Amino acid sequence: MQADDLIGEWKLDEFIVHRESGEAFHWPGEQSGTLIYTASGYVSVAQNRQPLADPSPEDAQRVSNFYTGRWRLGEAPGVVYHTALQSNAPAVIGQTMRREVEKLPDGRLKLSGQGLKESVTLIWSRLG
């Protein structure tokens, strides 16, 4: 994985939560999101879900996720780090988050790592 493989704009295709039980859980409702990596080392992540008619208490709390920050490739292949500068989740600000990154055969980007509660995987398609 090289910086050029990441730099650019991406749209969210899939958001998967990996429960402690091993279950792969897709959040209900229509998802949308944008991921931007700049050549100068900034990252922006924005993720929304359309409102649900009758959300569970957990679903009601998981409507959006936003942060901006700095990014860098890890020393190990397939690792990228995001350090949050701003976020809608105050606990994330100032934290460095490790993400495993893989370019899929179809050109999409797969990012996996620890979310606020569980491990998550996000699949992104390049825009433009």
- pLDDT value, residue 62: 67
In the predicted model, is pLDDT for residue 82 greater than 80? yes
Instruction: Indicate the pLDDT class of residue 16, thresholds 50, 70 and 90.
Output: confident
Cα 118 to Cα 62: distance, rounded to the nearest angstrom: 13
Instruction: Indicate the pLDDT class of residue 12, thresholds 50, 70 and 90.
Output: very high
Site of tokens 């979310």: 115
- pLDDT value, residue 5: 93
Integer CA distances (angstroms), 56 to 22, 28, 51, 59, in order: 21, 10, 12, 5
pTM here is: 0.85
- pLDDT value, residue 84: 96
Instruction: Indicate the pLDDT class of residue 103, thresholds 50, 70 and 90.
Output: very high
Q: What is the pLDDT of residues 21-72, one digit of tens each?
A: 777 777 767 788 999 999 999 999 998 877 777 877 766 666 668 999 999 9
Residue 5 zone, left/alpha/beta (φ > 0; ψ -120 to 50; rest): alpha
In the predicted model, is pLDDT for residue 125 greater than 80? yes
Domains and CATH numbers, the chain: 3-126 (2.40.128)
- pLDDT value, residue 35: 97
In the predicted model, is pLDDT for residue 88 greater than 90? no
Give one DSSP letter per residue of the chain, joined into a string. Answer: --HHHH-EEEEEEEEEEE-TTS-EEEPSS-EEEEEEE-TTSEEEEEEEEPPPSS--HHHHH-SEEEEEEEEEE-SSTTEEEEEEEEESSGGGTT-EEEEEEEE-TTS-EEEEEE-SSSEEEEEEEE--
Cα 9 to Cα 51: distance, rounded to the nearest angstrom: 25
pLDDT, averaged across the chain: 88
